Every structure is written in structure tokens, then in C-alpha cells.
Structure 1
Amino acid sequence: MIIDTLANANRYEQLHPLFSKAFSYLKNTDFIHLPKGKYTIDGEQLFAIVNEYDTVDAANEQCEAHKKYIDIQFIVSGTEQMGHLMVTNEAPSKAYDTDADYMLFAERPTFLSVITAGMIAIFFTETDAHMPNLHADGATVSLVKKVVVKVAAQPI
């Protein structure tokens, strides 16, 4: 798991062969005016999901993890809190869904981070469980626009 600003993304390009292309897309796209939806960057190995939503209460959420895709979550506007859980031997509370590429964990996050506009959070596969979309202060609903770039863990 990595938390930083998009301005510092070049520090992480060497971690995956598609990260450079993903960061370039995030830096060069005007997301303020881009509607919600799925956008292809490089076929099914690299695509973006643009979403806008109200933050939610952590009490009703579970941590999620993926197997096929690494998440690069970029906050376009607004502020949210994200929970983090390093998965070691925990058993999923919801078994892995191959089609949707996620599994859920009942364990609570071990720590929380407040993520603001211009920041990225990178969650690697299987061990980096995360609980995104949470109220930044733990209580107040706020509107967030976010882009999640899905990066194939095993590029084609």
C-alpha cells in the first residue's frame, strides 16, 4: 500500500510495467468534466472507473481486497478516509468473486488515512485490504469524485 500525491507518482513507476501509463492518464485527463463511467486505457489490463458519491459510515463497511487488479485510487475532489488492513492469515467473510475481482474481510482496519484532492492510494493484490469511501472526520457526509485505475497484476 502506498499513499502519496499524484505529483510524486514518478517515484513508483518502476514497481509495475503499467504504472507509467496509469500515472500519465491520471495527470493528463480533465476529470472535473468527465462523467462517471468506465474508461479504457489499455484494454482490460488497464482501465479507469470514474465515480462520484457521498462518503459512508465505516460501521457498515468491510475491508475488500483484489486478486486480478491493483487499485490506484485518485481523489479528484473532496476528502475521504480510507481504512487499511494488511491481510496475513485472515479468512474472507465473503469468498473471492472471480467476476467482480474482490473478497471481503470482517476484520476492522488497523489504521485510517485521510485522502484529499490530488492524492493517490495504491492497493496491491491480495494483502492490501482497504475500506474506501469513508467519512473524512468519521461522521460528516461529503461528496467525493474519485478515479480508480485498475492495473492488471499480471499484464498481458
Structure 2
Amino acid sequence: MIFDTIDQAGRYAPLHAGLAKAFEFLQSLYQGPLPAPGRYEIDGDRVFAGVDSYTTKPLEDALFEAHRKYADVQFLLSGRERILWAPLSMMEVIVREFDTVKDVAKWQPPGEFAELPMEPGRFAVLFPEDAHAPGVVWGETCEVLKVVVKVALD
């Protein structure tokens, strides 16, 4: 897991060609007008982004998820939320078995987890070993506009 600000993204771009493309896309969004919700092609199915608008949810509604094929690069354009994080090895109570089409499995929250405070300008890179629960309220419930760039790791 990587948690940092978009100004520092250049430090992580050399780790993977897909991350470099993801950060380039996010920096263009951060400096321009807010995008409409939807899917944005960056490099076919290797690197693509989803822009979504939603209301943050209470902690008791949070489910952890993890992916196998893709890393998530999560970035808020407006609003604020918490992403809950724990190692995948700590997940015990499965809610939804792994779906190969959607590249996701879901679990009940573990007993312990870390919190990533997300606000505009911050990003989190979540790899397959990083279970995470995005969209959790931070302070008061609010509307967020979020980008999740999916980066294929194979």
C-alpha cells in the first residue's frame, strides 16, 4: 500500500509502467475541470479509470474488498472519506467469494485496521495483498467525487 499526495506521485511512477500512466491521468484531472462520472480508457483493459460520485457511508456499513488482477489507485477530486486498510491475511469472515469477472472478493471488517484520511490531492495505491474498505465517513457524511484507476499487474 502507498499513501501520499499527488505532488509526490513521480516517486512511485517508476515502480510500474501502469502506475506511471495512472498518475499522469490523475494529474491531468487534478489540474483541469472535474470529470463526469463514467469509465475513462487510458490503456485499454491494462489501465482504465472509473469516476464515481457517492455519499460516504458509516463504519458499520463498511466491507473490505481485495482484487487479484488489478491494483487500485484511489484519488479524491472533491469531498473527504476514510479508506480502511488491513493486510489481506487478516480477512476472516468472507461475505462474497472472489468474482473473477469483477476481480473482487469482500469480507467483514477485521478486529484491527488502519485508516487512510482521503481528501483532494491525496492518493492510495492498493495492491492485491491490501484489503480495503473505501467510502467510509470522515467526520460528517458528505458527497465525494472519486477516481479509481485500475492497473493490471500481470
Check if 1:24 corresponds to 2:36. Answer: no
Unaligned 5+ segments in structure 2 are none
Aligned residues: 151
Deviation at 1:34, TM superposition (A): 1.5
Query: In 1, are the aligned partners of 2:62 and 2:109 still within 8 Å (CA)?
Result: no
Which residue of the partner structure matches residue 148 of structure 1? Answer: 148
Match of 1:132 among 110, 131, 134: 134
Deviation at 1:94, TM superposition (A): 1.7
Task: Write out per-residue CA displacement over residues 28-68 of structure 1, whole angstroms, 9 at most, x where no aligned residue.
Answer: 13664321000100000100000111100120121000011
Deviation at 1:136, TM superposition (A): 0.6
Taking a change above 3 Å as real, the CA distance of residues 134 and 128 of structure 1, as seen in their structure-2 partners, is same
Taking a change above 3 Å as real, the CA distance of residues 135 and 31 of structure 1, as seen in their structure-2 partners, is farther
Q: What percentage of aligned pairs have identical amino acids?
A: 34
Query: In 2, are the aligned partners of 1:49 and 1:148 still within 8 Å (CA)?
Result: yes
Which residue of the partner structure matches residue 5 of structure 1? Answer: 5
Which residue of the partner structure matches residue 41 of structure 2? Answer: 40
Unaligned 5+ segments in structure 1 are none
Taking a change above 3 Å as real, the CA distance of residues 75 and 89 of structure 1, as seen in their structure-2 partners, is closer
Q: Cα RMSD (Å) of the superposition?
A: 1.5
Which residue of the partner structure matches residue 99 of structure 2? Answer: 97
Which residue of the partner structure matches residue 15 of structure 1? Answer: 15
Q: Which amino acid aligns with 1:67?
A: R
Which residue of the partner structure matches residue 115 of structure 2? Answer: 112
Runs of 4+ in 1 over 4 A off after TM superposition: none
Tell me how far apart the structure 2 counterparts of residues 31 and 106 of structure 1 sit (CA, whole Å).
37
Tell me how far apart the structure 1 counterparts of residues 101 and 32 of structure 2 sit (CA, whole Å).
27
Query: In 1, are the aligned partners of 2:80 and 2:117 still within 8 Å (CA)?
Result: yes
Tell me how far apart the structure 1 counterparts of residues 63 and 22 of structure 2 sit (CA, whole Å).
27
Which secondary structure does the structure 2 equivalent of 1:96 belong to? strand
Task: Give the stretch that moved more between structures: 103-112 or 92-101.
Answer: 103-112
Taking a change above 3 Å as real, the CA distance of residues 53 and 153 of structure 1, as seen in their structure-2 partners, is same
Q: Which amino acid aligns with 2:126?
A: F
Tell me how far apart the structure 2 counterparts of residues 16 and 153 of structure 1 sit (CA, whole Å).
8
Query: In 1, are the aligned partners of 2:48 and 2:150 still within 8 Å (CA)?
Result: yes
Q: Which amino acid aligns with 1:82?
A: I
User: Structure 2 length normalisation: TM-score?
Assistant: 0.91
Task: Give the stretch that moved more between structures: 73-82 or 30-39.
Answer: 30-39
